[in-house]
Amino acid sequence: MSEHGGNVTEVARQFGLSAHELIDFSANINPLGAPERVKALITDNLACIEKYPDVEYRHLHQAIAKAHQCDCTSVMAGNGATELIYAVVRYLQPKRALLPVPGFAEYRRALQQIGAEIVDYPLTEEAGFQPDLRLLDALSHIQPDCVFMATPNNPTGLMPDRQFMQSLVAYCEKHGIALIVDEAFIDFLPDNRGLIPQCAVTKHLYLLRSLTKFFAIPGLRLGYLVSGDITGIAEMKKQREPWSINALAARVGEVLLDDHAYITATHQWLKTQQPDLWEHLSALPELTVWPPSANFLFFRCHHPDVNLWHALLKHRILIRHCQNYVGLDKRYYRVAVRSEWENQRLIAAMRQVFAYG
Q: Which residues bind ligand PLP (CB under 6 A)?
A: 80-82, 104, 150, 154, 182, 184, 210, 212, 218, 223
Please state the closest distance from residue 77 (CB atom) to ligand PLP, in A. 11
Please state the closest distance from residue 348 (CB atom) to ligand PLP, in A. 27
Other Cβ atoms closer than 10 A to 162: 11
Exposed/middle/buried for residue 202 (C-beta within 10 Å: 0-12, 13-18, 19+): middle
Please state the closest distance from residue 174 (CB atom) to ligand PLP, in A. 26
Helices 230-239, 80-92: crossing angle, 10 deg rounding: 110
> Is the CB of 168 or the CB of 207 nearer to ligand PLP?
207
> Is the CB of 186 or the CB of 311 nearer to ligand PLP?
186
Please state the closest distance from residue 334 (CB atom) to ligand PLP, in A. 10
What is the distance between the alpha carbons of residues 181 and 193, in angstroms, rounded to a whole number? 13
Exposed/middle/buried for residue 324 (C-beta within 10 Å: 0-12, 13-18, 19+): middle
Beta partners for residue 224, in sequence order: 77, 209
> Is the CB of 218 or the CB of 327 nearer to ligand PLP?
218
> Is the CB of 147 or the CB of 284 nearer to ligand PLP?
147
Task: Fill in the amino acid letter for 99.
Answer: L
Asked if the peptide bond before residue 102 counts as cis, ω within 30 degrees of 0, the response is yes
> Is the CB of 284 or the CB of 337 nearer to ligand PLP?
337
Please state the closest distance from residue 284 (CB atom) to ligand PLP, in A. 25
Torsion of CA 273, 81, 259, 218, to 10 degrees: -60
Beta partners for residue 297, in sequence order: 335
> Is the CB of 256 or the CB of 353 nearer to ligand PLP?
256
What is the distance between the alpha carbons of residues 19 and 12, in angstroms, rounded to a whole number? 5
For ligand PLP, which residue has the nearest CB?
80
Please state the closest distance from residue 214 (CB atom) to ligand PLP, in A. 10
> Is the CB of 311 or the CB of 336 nearer to ligand PLP?
336
What is the distance between the alpha carbons of residues 136 and 317, in angstroms, rounded to a whole number? 41
Residue 250 contacts residue 77 (beta carbons within 8 Å): yes
Q: Which run of H or of E encompasses 44? A: helix 36-44
Q: Is 301 helix (H, G, I), strand (E, B) or coil?
A: strand
Please state the closest distance from residue 344 (CB atom) to ligand PLP, in A. 25
> Is the CB of 184 or the CB of 313 nearer to ligand PLP?
184
Torsion of CA 234, 181, 201, 75, to 10 degrees: 30
Please state the closest distance from residue 279 (CB atom) to ligand PLP, in A. 24
Please state the closest distance from residue 309 (CB atom) to ligand PLP, in A. 18
> Is the CB of 78 or the CB of 94 nearer to ligand PLP?
78
